[in-house]
């Protein structure tokens, strides 16, 4: 009997301003808790940020990651307010 109901790819979430800015968000479990990691496209990166990983500068126009706690006891809004911008590599190799 043929399979008629193929599993569909995940439905595209509603398009909103935040999503346009941010790309695909994911949650990662790390040694120090859960973090929400959101890629920032080069074209959307218009400010310089201090990277907590290397203490260097993420220059405007550099694709990077925006990271905040996913398990904040103070809530998502507070965690988001404390978000940090990381070089991709610095996030991947952080201790
Ligand atoms: Zn860095």
Distance from Cα 65 to the centre of ligand 1, integer Å = 10
Average pLDDT by stretches of 10, the chain with 95 residues: 57 50 80 92 93 97 95 90 96 86
pTM for the whole thing? 0.73
Q: Where are the domains of the chain?
A: 17-93
Q: Residues 27, 85, 25, CA angle at the centre, nearest 5°?
A: 25
Q: Phi and psi for 86 in degrees, rounded to 5?
A: -125, 145
Q: What does the alpha-carbon distance between residue 14 and residue 54 come to, in Å, rounded to a whole number?
A: 35
Distance from Cα 1 to the centre of ligand 1, integer Å = 55
Distance from Cα 37 to the centre of ligand 1, integer Å = 15
Q: What does the alpha-carbon distance between residue 7 and residue 68 come to, in Å, rounded to a whole number?
A: 32
pLDDT value at position 24? 83
């Amino acid at each position: 009997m043929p399979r008629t109901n193929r599993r569909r790819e995940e439905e595209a979430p509603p398009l909103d301003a935040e999503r346009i800015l941010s790309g695909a968000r994911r949650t990662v479990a790390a040694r120090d808790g859960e973090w929400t990691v959101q890629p920032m496209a080069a074209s959307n990166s218009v400010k310089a940020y201090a990277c907590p990983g290397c203490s260097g500068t993420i220059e405007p126009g550099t694709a990077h990651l925006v990271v905040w706690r996913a398990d904040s006891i103070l809530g998502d809004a507070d965690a988001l307010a404390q978000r940090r911008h990381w070089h991709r590599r610095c996030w991947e190799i952080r201790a």
